[in-house]
Amino acid sequence: MSELENFERLKFFREELKYEYTLLSNRLGLFITSQSFLVSAFAALSASMRYPATVWMIGSVAMLGITISILIRIPIQLSHVSLKKWLALERKLLTADDLLSESVFGERDAPCSYDDNEAGQSMSFSKVVPVVFIIMWAVLILGTAVRVALNHYKASQF
């Protein structure tokens, strides 16, 4: 293949990577926005637990938060798979074409010295955030259950 053809392939790979990173970023942004609205609703409902129906609404909001956190993990994992695929194709192209590698990195051995774990670490936030929200919702549900039990216990004492 000619150098120009390899350059066009590299350009295509970079555009695909950019698209996948943007898609992952949008998914995370929407996820975190939805969780912030749910946390606000949870806090508002928790502040007014005078009515028995409020407890069920609090539980529903928390379960919705957990459900969204579980469901978002699939698209995030698919984005990671796609990103790894495009990064591998880019790496393969750059290691096969020394002149292209030199023109991109300024040296011929740069793609071989680049560690895939560095790219994976930059995406680790997107893997961890849904798990953090699942744990947070579980703690909030547990705290609410304890609070309701304590209120019920205090009410039965009088």
Q: Are 13 and 111 in contact (CB under 8 A)?
A: no
Q: Are 46 and 58 in contact (CB under 8 A)?
A: yes
pLDDT of res. 1:
55
Kindly give the interhelix angle for 124-157 and 52-96, rounded to the nearest 10 degrees.
170
Residue with tokens 């502040």: 47
pLDDT of res. 119:
64
Give the Å distances, CA to CA, from 82 to 29, 86, 90, 117.
19, 6, 12, 16
Q: Are 56 and 141 in contact (CB under 8 A)?
A: no
This model's pTM is above 0.85: no
The pLDDT averaged over each successive group of 10 residues in the chain (158 residues) is: 78 93 94 97 89 87 97 94 92 80 66 59 87 97 91 80
pLDDT of res. 71:
96
- Interatomic CA distance for residues 53 and 136, integer angstroms: 23
- Interatomic CA distance for residues 20 and 44, integer angstroms: 36
